[in-house]
Amino acid sequence: MIRVSVGARSSSVRASLESVIRSSPSLEFVEALDPSQLSASELSGDVLLIEVEDPNDHDWPALADLPIPVILLLDSTDFDLLSLVLRSGVRGAISSDATPEEIESAVHAVNAGLVVTTPTSLAELLPRPPMARELAEPLSERELEVLDLVAEGLSNKLIAYRLNISEHTVKTHVASIFAKFGASSRTEAVSQAIRRGLVML
């Protein structure tokens, strides 16, 4: 269970984000905060989710220095702003229109140590990935679907739910992916997949 605090200046937005967190079986709501009153010494939880109304009214490095990773919900998809936010050390920047499922995936990914943003923004922030090198035994279509969700930081249970298959089947696919990559962990498998151009975070 990932413990999530939320922040927004609007009480209605705080209530909405709280509802999203409470509706997820894998997330636990901790507290709702006004971003202007953030105190590192009092902050609790595993991940902080903040809705940003005015991008010019925030100290990004200060957010990155908080004791837990931060995901920002932004109205803007401006390349320069997203570049500034992510390079300051903030772990996630996604659209304020993100669905509950997208928010849940972002929380899992950031909690797993990954950096997340929208696919469109990522395409601008990163160079085009290298041509995928062929594996001795290519991944099946289902294995690629599982790999994408592993890269998002989802657990086997959540992957099973998302793909409507059993958790045992997910474990079999993950083991097959490890074998084909010669990987011993999820992190190693995802790293190899990124280098081969098979997934983009």
In angstroms, rounded to a whole number, what is the distance separating the alpha carbons of residues 168 and 199?
Answer: 23
pTM value is: 0.58
Q: Give per-residue pLDDT as tens, 4-60.
A: 999 888 889 999 999 999 999 999 999 988 877 776 556 788 999 988 876 665 566
In angstroms, rounded to a whole number, what is the distance separating the alpha carbons of residues 156 and 136?
Answer: 25
Ordered domains of the chain (ranges, CATH): 2-124 (3.40.50.2300), 141-195 (1.10.10.10)
In angstroms, rounded to a whole number, what is the distance separating the alpha carbons of residues 52 and 151?
Answer: 26
**DSSP SS3 for 22:** helix
Q: Give per-residue pLDDT as tens, 83-129.
A: 677 777 788 888 888 899 999 999 999 999 888 876 555 555 555 44
Q: Give per-residue pLDDT as tens, 143-191.
A: 999 999 998 889 999 999 999 999 999 999 999 999 998 888 888 888 8
User: What's residue 132's pLDDT?
Assistant: 47
Q: Which residues of 169-191 are buried (b: 16+ CB within 10 A; e: fewer)?
A: ebeebbebbbebbebeebeebbe
